[in-house]
Each structure stands twice: as C-alpha cells, then as structure tokens.
C-alpha cells in the first residue's frame, strides 16, 4: 500500500508541520483533565509486522485547547496525497477518544462530503462504526477529545496513525438538538441517548431524560398488530407542533404515538419523575433527507 498521511483540519484551513506563527490565545474549557506527559512526543508502538510511528500533530487543527461547539459543522480536510475517494471504511478510521483514552466512536466522512479534499463533521456526532448497515449513533458529552486517523492494511494491521490536538467540546446553551431517525428533539446538554435494536419487533429503543423512553418503530403495521391491542385509546392531543394519539396501558401508563407512513414513534415515561410532554413540545418530524 502506498504510504499516505492524512491531515486533520477543522475550519477549512490546512496547517502543515513547521508553521512558525503561534496560534492565537483562546479560552479553554474548564476540565479536570491533566495531560499525561508531552502530547507532542513521538512514540513507537508495534504490531506483528513492524514499528508504527505514532505522532501527535498538535500543530494541526483542531489544535490543543480549541473549543468546538456541539452541533456546529467543522471542516476536516484530507491532504493532497490522501483524497476522499481513497477513503474506505474498513481501512481508514477517524476515531475519537476522550481524555481517559477511551474510544468513543468514529466519524464517517461519506455522510458529509464537501469536495474531494474535505468533509464536514457535526461536532459531537459519532457512530459506533462506519461499516455495516445497523450502526448506532453516539452523542458525545461535553469534555476533552482527540481525533485519531488510523490507516490499516488489508490484513487489519495498523500502518499509520495521525492525531489532532486535544480539543474541547463545549456548548453555549443548556440544550442541544438531537437529530436521528427522521426527527429532532431538544435534549439537555451532555445527555447521551442510549440506542439499541429491540429484540421484540422491528424497532429501535432510545432512552430519554427523566426516565422517559422512545421506541422508534420501523414497521408501524407490526406495532398496530401486536402492541395496539394491549392499549386503550384515550384521546388525540397536540403537544408542541405535533398531534399525538394518546393511549393507556393496562397499568394506566400513558403512551404518546405519532405515525408517519409505516414508521411510528412511541413515547412513554413516568410522569412522577418528569412530565414527558415537556420533551414532546420540542419533537419535530423532519423526514430522512
């Protein structure tokens, strides 16, 4: 494989090693993170084939201490040597790690391609993998992170890694707009919905704040056949901009149901711990485009 170097850039401007001008001073995000040693050192790691040069390139963007606001778009640039068309999800990984070194997820360039050398990253949005068809979305909380580009050979061995500087994921508001599965909703900053494919029926189970819960049904006819008979219709209710059908379960739990075509959204919660209608006021169906 031809040796390649990926240049990480946020903001659409490439910075190359050897740039003499110092970065402008900027505010830093308050954190109890303490760097372990010099982040600019070059360390050698090894696999079964050869030593791998693992260099922290903090001269590139995002630089050490940069603040990226959750939900805003930032350019990440490939170098002239490595173009978007060279990207392969099984051979090239844009991973994100937190300040404890934990792998948080990956950035998928094919989702937001700008041109042959750039793609957009919506800060804070990751997936568990860029390959396959049943991937789970991940929302990063506030904190300190680093982007690590890893190149693999056809046997899955690392051939090169390139790192950004440690950057801070911040927010200027108390909430952020969660977007997935055809809808948006305002959630508290730092809250990460946990998503998993449900074993019972064609659906995705999503946790929400205050013990509320959403089931995204990919086959509403299945829901109508197997779940609806267990519910009693109560009324129709408009919450925010959305009209829901409200049902009661046998245990008198309130269910809010919204259907669009053959997909549906089933909201449930524990009102004594937090009124689910407060979340539903911010629910917006936007479609999948």
Task: Assess whether 58 and 87 both reside in one domain.
Answer: yes
Is residue 34 assigned to a domain?
A: no
Q: Is residue 147 part of a domain?
A: yes
pLDDT of the residue at 246: 95
Residue 165 and residue 52 in one domain: yes
Whether residue 187 sits in one domain with residue 148: no
Same-domain pairing of 191 and 216: yes
Question: Are 131 and 148 within one domain?
Answer: yes
What average pLDDT does the segment 255-277 reach?
85
- Report whether pLDDT(207) > 80: yes
What pLDDT score was predicted for residue 281? 92
What are 124-161's pLDDT values in tens digits?
A: 889 888 877 777 888 888 888 998 888 888 888 888 77
Q: Is the pLDDT of residue 53 over 70?
A: no
Q: How is residue 150 written in tokens?
A: 């890893």
Q: 243: domain range?
A: 175-285
The predicted-structure confidence for 165-204, as pLDDT tens digits, reads as follows 888 888 777 788 889 999 999 988 778 888 888 887 899 9
Structural domain contains residue 186: yes
User: 1-32 burial by CB neighbour count: b if 16+ within 10 A, else e?
Assistant: eeebbbbbbbeeebbeeeeeeeeeeeeebeee
Burial of 77 (0-12, 13-18, 19+ CB in 10 A): buried
The whole-angstrom separation of Cα 157 and Cα 90 is: 11
Determine the average pLDDT of the residues in 107-130. Answer: 77
Q: Which two tokens stand for residue 257?
A: 């149901």
Does residue 166 share a domain with residue 48? yes
Tell me, what's the pLDDT at 286? 94
Q: Per-residue pLDDT averaged across 107-116, rounded?
A: 70
Last residue of a domain, one of 124, 139, 170: 170
CATH classification at residue 266: 3.40.1000
Task: Give the number of domains in the chain.
Answer: 2
Give the end of a domain, one of 120, 137, 170. Answer: 170
State whether 199 and 103 are in the same domain: no
Nearest to 61 by CA among 108, 26, 102: 26
**Reduced 3-state DSSP string for 27-70:** CCCCCCCCCCCCCCCEEEEECCCCEEEEEECCCCCCCCCCEEEC
pLDDT given at position 229? 93
pLDDT at 199: 80
* Shared-domain flag, residues 129 and 53: yes
Supply the pLDDT for residue 16.
31
CA distances from 1 to 4, 47, 91, 152, 256 (A): 9, 17, 11, 10, 54
SS3 149: strand
Residues 208 and 243 grouped into a single domain: yes
Distance CA 254, CA 93 (A): 43
Whether residue 207 sits in one domain with residue 143: no
Residues 88 and 183 occupy one common structural domain: no
Residue 20 resides in a domain: no
Task: With a cut of 90, say whether residue 49 has pLDDT above it.
Answer: no
Does residue 231 carry a pLDDT above 50?
yes
3 assigned to some structural domain = no
What's the pTM value of the predicted model, to 2 decimals? 0.45
Q: What CATH number does the domain containing 54 carry?
A: 2.60.40
Mean pLDDT of the region 191-219: 89
Q: What's residue 7's pLDDT?
A: 44
Strands 67-69, 167-170: parallel, antiparallel or unpaired by DSSP?
A: parallel
Torsion sign over Cα 104, 110, 113, 117: positive
* Residue 264, strand partner residues: 217, 259
- Residues 57, 96, single domain; the answer is yes
Average pLDDT rounded to a whole number, residues 229-250: 94
């Amino acid at each position: 494989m031809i040796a390649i170097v990926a240049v990480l850039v946020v903001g659409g401007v490439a910075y190359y090693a050897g740039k003499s001008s110092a970065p402008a001073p900027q505010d830093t995000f308050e954190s109890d993170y303490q760097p372990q040693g010099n982040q600019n050192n070059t360390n050698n790691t090894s696999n079964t084939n050869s030593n791998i040069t693992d260099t922290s390139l903090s001269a590139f963007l995002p630089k050490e201490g940069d603040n990226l606001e959750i939900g805003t778009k930032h350019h990440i640039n490939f170098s002239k040597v490595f173009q978007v068309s060279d990207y392969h999800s099984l051979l090239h990984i844009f991973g994100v790690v937190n300040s404890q070194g934990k792998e948080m997820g990956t950035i998928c360039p094919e989702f937001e391609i700008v041109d042959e050398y750039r793609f957009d990253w919506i800060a804070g949005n990751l997936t568990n993998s860029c390959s396959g068809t049943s991937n789970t979305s991940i929302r990063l909380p506030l904190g300190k992170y680093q982007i690590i580009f890893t190149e693999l050979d056809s046997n899955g061995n690392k051939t090169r890694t390139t790192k950004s500087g440690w950057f801070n994921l911040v927010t200027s508001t108390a909430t952020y707009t969660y977007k997935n599965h055809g809808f948006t909703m305002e959630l508290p900053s730092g809250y990460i919905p946990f998503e998993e494919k449900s074993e019972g029926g064609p659906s995705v189970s999503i946790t929400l704040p205050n013990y509320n819960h959403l089931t995204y049904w990919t086959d509403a006819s299945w829901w109508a056949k197997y779940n609806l008979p267990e519910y009693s219709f109560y009324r129709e209710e408009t919450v925010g901009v959305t009209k829901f059908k409200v049902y009661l379960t046998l245990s008198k739990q309130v269910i809010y149901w919204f259907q669009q075509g053959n997909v549906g959204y089933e909201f449930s919660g524990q009102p004594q711990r937090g009124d689910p209608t407060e979340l539903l006021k911010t629910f917006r169906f936007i479609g999948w485009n």
